[in-house]
Amino acid sequence: MTREEIIKDLIEEMSKCGLFIGKYDARNGNENFMHGINTVMEYLAYEVSREYGDNFSDMFIKNMIDSENKI
C-alpha cells in the first residue's frame, strides 16, 4: 500500500465516528474543539490528495452546520 492509501484507510475508519466528520452535539459541545478536529482531519485528507482534502473539508463543514442547525 502507498502512504496515501494508508492515510485514506485511516480517515475512512475514523469517519465511522461522527465526531471526526463534523457531527456533534452543538448544544453541549464546543465549536472551537470541533475546529481543532477539523484541522487534523483536513491535514490528513490533504495528504491523500487536493481533491480528497477539498471534498472532506466541504463535508466536515456541512456536517458542523447541520449539527448547529439542530439546536
Q: How confident is the model at residue 71 (pLDDT cuts 50, 70, 90)?
A: confident
Cell representation of residue 53? 482534502
Stretch 46-67: mean pLDDT: 98
Residue 69 has pLDDT above 90, yes or no: yes
Q: How confident is the model at residue 15 (pLDDT cuts 50, 70, 90)?
A: very high
Scored b (16 or more CB within 10 A) or e, 27-61 reads eeeeeeebeebbeebbebbbbbeeebbeebbeebe
Three-state SS at 16: coil
What integer pLDDT is reported at residue 65 of this predicted model?
Answer: 97
State residue 64's pLDDT score.
Answer: 97
Q: Any residues with CB less than 8 A from the CB of 10 and at least 6 apart, and which?
A: 44
Quick check: 30 pLDDT over 90? yes
Q: CA–CA separation, 41 vs 11, rounded Å?
A: 7
